[in-house]
């Protein structure tokens, strides 16, 4: 909530929140080569909070564990 600041309307969707927290991908292309890298910008404290949430859910939430087991090769 603190990351959104005084203008939560700027967070139109999940992608804008991910960009704000630095959890989105950024294009890094040159010529014909197209690559993506992790966004190193954004609010690092919000990114750290998201990381802690994911780690907790992976450890304790059976729904998250089932999702990861289905999607992770």
Our count of domains for the chain comes to 1
Domain enclosing residue 59, as ranges: 8-71
pLDDT at res. 57: 94
pLDDT at res. 6: 66
State the alpha helices, DSSP H only, in the chain.
Answer: 14-21, 44-60, 62-71
Low-confidence spans in the chain with pLDDT less than 50 = none
pLDDT at res. 58: 94
pLDDT at res. 62: 95
pLDDT at res. 21: 84
Q: Which of 18, 42, 70, 10 is nearest to 62 (CA)?
A: 70
pLDDT at res. 52: 94
Q: Is residue 58 part of a domain?
A: yes
Q: Is residue 2 part of a domain?
A: no
Q: Is residue 1 part of a domain?
A: no
């Amino acid at each position: 909530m603190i990351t959104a600041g005084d203008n939560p309307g700027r967070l139109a969707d999940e992608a804008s929140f991910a960009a704000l927290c630095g959890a989105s991908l950024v294009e890094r292309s040159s010529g014909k080569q197209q690559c993506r890298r992790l966004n190193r910008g954004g609010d690092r404290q919000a990114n750290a909070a998201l990381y802690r949430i994911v780690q907790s859910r992976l450890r304790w939430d059976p729904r998250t564990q089932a999702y990861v087991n289905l999607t992770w090769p």
